[in-house]
Structure 1
Amino acid sequence: MTRLDLDFIRAQFPAFEEPSLQNWSFFENAGGSYACTQVIEHLNRYYRQTKLQPYHPFPASERAGQEMDQALSRLASYLNVGEDEIDLGPSTSQNTYVLAQAFRAILQPGDEIIVTNQDHEANSGSWRRLSESGIVIREWQVDPQTGYLDLEVLDQLLGDKTRLVTFPHCSNIIAQVNPVAEITRRAHAVGARVVVDGVSYAGHGFPDVKALEADIYLFSLYKTFGPHQGLMVVRKETREALANQGHFFNADLVHKRLTPAGPDHAQIAASGGIIDYFDAVHTHHFKDQPDAARRGHQIHDLFQAQEKALMAPLLEYIRNRNDVRLLGPDTPTDRAPTISMVVKGGGRAAAEKLAKHGIMAAGGHFYSFRLFEGMNLDPAAGALRVSFVHYTSPDDIEKLIKALDATL
């Protein structure tokens, strides 16, 4: 198996050369990753050369529109979906809210939506509010001991009135990777659509959305080394069924229907830098040059192999402590490297102690308030969360373990 060249990878991120960040190890990647240099260069160039309205008939405006279109097209190709199935909006939270309004218009009182209490509130609260329109909300609850979602519990909730099932690809606290394709098949069997929150997954390698069979897949580009935009894939059949949320005269424009606010042109264009980075990683590590979807698979596997190797010593260290409670799987298999721990004194206090040792981490409930309640944990105390991605080094992991040893 190809091994990740960490020196090459870290050279793509200016943060690792930033003087103010020296002697710090970054473990809050689940909240937002470092931006790669390709994105920063795109953004810089856009603001210098094309900071104006795109798509007008003069060169700078035409170039601005072309950069935006190319970004969407290239992102779609890596996700293995059509360009007309992808949109960028201000954030995943905002995109989910807009989607909920689009579904509100096509649902009837008595129709049912299944939500989970494992989700970040962004993929829960907007759907729950539809109860105000007579929609029945059913909660797929986690096991209170493990925090996992049980497929047999889902089967008991699914029925002929189920119209939508919403769930995370993986929780931003538990981090177990849920079987998206299997959940989707079960939902489709009763005629329901699925909305998958991929925010806590996509930073560890873009998924093949076509293979997952999800109707809607959402994640945040600022957690995948890019600008602060939320990406949503809405498959064509579902998009056509949803009510227009844009201006009435834009109803037939595919990229206007679900983005009622004016887009951030510069950040959309800059998101193409993520694909520049992925292409550079692929060219450096692989001899072949397959299509974009296949390159995405190879990069996904490359990133995840590195992350699992980094997780192993940290999880072993935590398993050997009797004064912390690890939330989620205790081995690297089928989990993301978002490691949450219940510790004495609360998560934020522990993060403050780690900061004195050069560790950037965070504590809290991280908008998964319902999950903490479902596991009989105190959301106010929250958890200590240390999260990393493929650019994290083994030295960072060793430093974190030493800091945990000194502070817990």
Structure 2
Amino acid sequence: MLDIQKIRADFPILSQKVNGKPLVYFDNGATSQKPQVVIDADAKYYQEINANIHRGVHTLSQLATDAYEISRGKVQEHINAKFAHEVLFTSGTTHGINLVTNGFASILKPGDEVIVSSLEHHSNIVPWQMLCEKTGATLKVIPMNEEGELIMEAYDALLSEKTKVVTVNHISNALGIINPIKYMIDKAHAVGAAVLIDGAQAVPHLKPDVQALDCDFYAFSGHKMCGPTGTGILYGKEEWLNKLPPYQGGGEMIKEVTFEKTTYADLPHKFEAGTPNIAGGIVLGTAIDYLNEIGFDNIQKQEEELLAHATKRLLEIEGLKIYGTGKNKASVVSFNIDGIHPYDIGSIIDKLGIAVRTGHHCAQPIMNFFCIPGTIRASFSFYNTKEEINLMVEAVKTAKTMLS
């Protein structure tokens, strides 16, 4: 059993008050809070080893380079990548997805097809739309059902020899639905398609095993898993990363430059042009260490209990509807109350110290499917408690009374 109060003490922000009320932070799907060990590691880098990496022979540069590459190795181990050079540092999930779509611009041709799902965040829709417009490829969409689950029979029917890429999120940011990605990856590979998984919402809750999944690309952000903002990872199979052209040109990603020709560096540096977010990359490794020390089995158990409790308590409120009722879910509850705009609920409960997200959550196609302007989304982390959920429920009841 986790000692939740001890864990909460690791997060300085959780002890503060908002609008005179104890902070109840349920916007973890947008970004997680940071433990003191992560905050300290960021300061330690700038206080002790701040220097540019990979290029200097002086001591600080070597120390910074070692720390950065050690962090890359931690990520490799965490996601079970075969090689450290399959792990690319990015600024976040969006950066990783755009890196891949840029590479496929030289591969796709008119008549090719890219499959996305109805559950995608805009960052896993728009880059593929742009790619299809550029190449003449066609974008196909896997439909969803009323429970918020993807319809696998429809997915199977969409796949063909024309399918070159399938891209889908591991977990929906708007609904919390966990997609059957192993099945989807195997089906895509059967027709020769590459697969990118958007893991932004998955990595705070579970450890993805990229070799077991056999995905070709897996992108995620550091800031959703207790790490710094402006950090992320793109995993790519070695053969795919060697096949794709560089995303950006500049320092670090070159082997030799003349005015006649440039040759590119080996992986992973081929895709890491310029000075990176060195501190962020190092501290992402610290965040991963912290989560592994707590243990993902423990995290999942705690969050499953929070999800069950929140679902039960919220459904006690008359007129409340939960969106995303599929069997396999992460710790996210997306809901509305009949006749009341989600923004109004969110604004009132904020005055009571409750931080939730309202709106379309950068997933407008989902909201269009349900014919709603948006939802109230409460997204939980392992450091949240059932007592906090009870406070949210009472706050929602208060807001409903005020707005009815």
Q: Fold match, TM over 0.5? A: yes
Instruction: Tell me how far 1:220 sits from its aligned partner.
Output: 1.0
Return the alpha-carbon distance in structure 2 between the equivalents of residues 211 and 354 of structure 1: 42
Q: Secondary structure at the match of 1:219?
A: strand
Q: Secondary structure at the match of 1:101?
A: helix
Q: Deviations over 1:202-244 (max 9, x none)?
A: 1112222222221111111100000111211112222122122
Given that 2:52 and 2:275 are in contact with CA atoms closer than 8 Å, whether structure 1 keeps it comes out as no
Alignment of 1:71-90 (within 5 A): 71-81=71-81, 82-90=83-91
Instruction: Tell me how far 1:260 sits from its aligned partner.
Output: 4.0
Q: Which residue of 2 aligns with 1:290?
A: none
Given that 1:121 and 1:368 are in contact with CA atoms closer than 8 Å, whether structure 2 keeps it comes out as yes
Instruction: Tell me how far 1:278 sits from its aligned partner.
Output: 2.9
Q: Deviations over 1:1-57 (max 9, x none)?
A: xx2221332232222345669711101000000012222111101111222212311
Match of 1:372 among 345, 364, 367: 367
Q: Which residue of 1 aligns with 2:382?
A: 390
Alignment of 1:317-396 (within 5 A): 317-329=313-325, 333-343=327-337, 344-373=339-368, 375-378=369-372, 381-396=373-388
Alignment of 1:276-355 (within 5 A): 276-281=289-294, 299-329=295-325, 333-343=327-337, 344-355=339-350
Q: Deviations over 1:233-292 (max 9, x none)?
A: 1122221221222437252331233344541111111112113313532xxxxxxxxxxx
- Residue 66 of structure 1 aligns with an amino acid whose one-letter code is D
Return the alpha-carbon distance in structure 1 between the equivalents of residues 143 and 114 of structure 2: 14
Return the alpha-carbon distance in structure 2 between the equivalents of residues 227 and 25 of structure 1: 21
Q: Which moved more, 1:229-238 or 1:358-367?
A: 229-238
Q: Which residue of 1 aligns with 2:259?
A: none
Q: Which residue of 1 aligns with 2:258?
A: none
Given that 2:17 and 2:353 are in contact with CA atoms closer than 8 Å, whether structure 1 keeps it comes out as no
Given that 1:207 and 1:300 are in contact with CA atoms closer than 8 Å, whether structure 2 keeps it comes out as no
Given that 1:30 and 1:200 are in contact with CA atoms closer than 8 Å, whether structure 2 keeps it comes out as yes
Compute the TM-score of the two structures, normalised by the length of structure 1: 0.89
Q: Secondary structure at the match of 1:30?
A: coil
Q: Which residue of 2 aligns with 1:167?
A: 168
Q: Deviations over 1:326-362 (max 9, x none)?
A: 11127xx520111111333322211111112211112
Gaps of 5+ in 1: 282-298
What's the C-alpha RMSD, in Å, of the aligned pairs? 1.8
- Residue 371 of structure 1 aligns with an amino acid whose one-letter code is I
Q: Which residue of 2 aligns with 1:249?
A: 254
Return the alpha-carbon distance in structure 2 between the equivalents of residues 180 and 66 of structure 1: 35
Q: Secondary structure at the match of 1:201?
A: coil
Compute the TM-score of the two structures, normalised by the length of structure 2: 0.90
Given that 2:357 and 2:376 are in contact with CA atoms closer than 8 Å, whether structure 1 keeps it comes out as yes
User: Taking structure 1 as reference, are residues 259 and 117 closer, same or farther at Cα in structure 2, changes over 3 Å only?
Assistant: farther
Q: Secondary structure at the match of 2:302?
A: helix
Return the alpha-carbon distance in structure 2 between the equivalents of residues 19 and 405 of structure 1: 21
Given that 1:347 and 1:385 are in contact with CA atoms closer than 8 Å, whether structure 2 keeps it comes out as no
Q: Which residue of 2 aligns with 1:407?
A: 399
Q: Which residue of 1 aligns with 2:111?
A: 110
Return the alpha-carbon distance in structure 1 between the equivalents of residues 172 and 292 of structure 2: 28
Return the alpha-carbon distance in structure 1 between the equivalents of residues 36 and 254 of structure 2: 38
Instruction: Tell me how far 1:324 sits from its aligned partner.
Output: 2.0
User: Taking structure 1 as reference, are residues 260 and 23 closer, same or farther at Cα in structure 2, changes over 3 Å only?
Assistant: same
Return the alpha-carbon distance in structure 2 between the equivalents of residues 103 and 369 of structure 1: 25
Q: Secondary structure at the match of 2:116?
A: strand
Q: Secondary structure at the match of 1:395?
A: helix
Return the alpha-carbon distance in structure 1 between the equivalents of residues 148 and 386 of structure 2: 28
Given that 1:117 and 1:142 are in contact with CA atoms closer than 8 Å, whether structure 2 keeps it comes out as yes
- Residue 296 of structure 2 aligns with an amino acid whose one-letter code is H
Q: Secondary structure at the match of 1:200?
A: coil
Given that 2:218 and 2:234 are in contact with CA atoms closer than 8 Å, whether structure 1 keeps it comes out as yes
Match of 2:143 among 141, 144, 160: 141
Q: Which residue of 2 aligns with 1:9?
A: 7
- Residue 265 of structure 1 aligns with an amino acid whose one-letter code is I
- Residue 249 of structure 1 aligns with an amino acid whose one-letter code is I
Q: Deviations over 1:143-183 (max 9, x none)?
A: 2x233201110011000011110111111112111111111
Match of 1:272 among 280, 285, 288: 285
Q: Secondary structure at the match of 2:65?
A: helix
Q: Secondary structure at the match of 1:118?
A: coil
Query: How many pairs does the alignment contain?
Result: 383
Q: Which residue of 1 aligns with 2:31?
A: 32
Instruction: Tell me how far 1:306 sits from its aligned partner.
Output: 0.5
Q: Which residue of 2 aligns with 1:208?
A: 209
Return the alpha-carbon distance in structure 2 between the equivalents of residues 353 and 16 of structure 1: 20
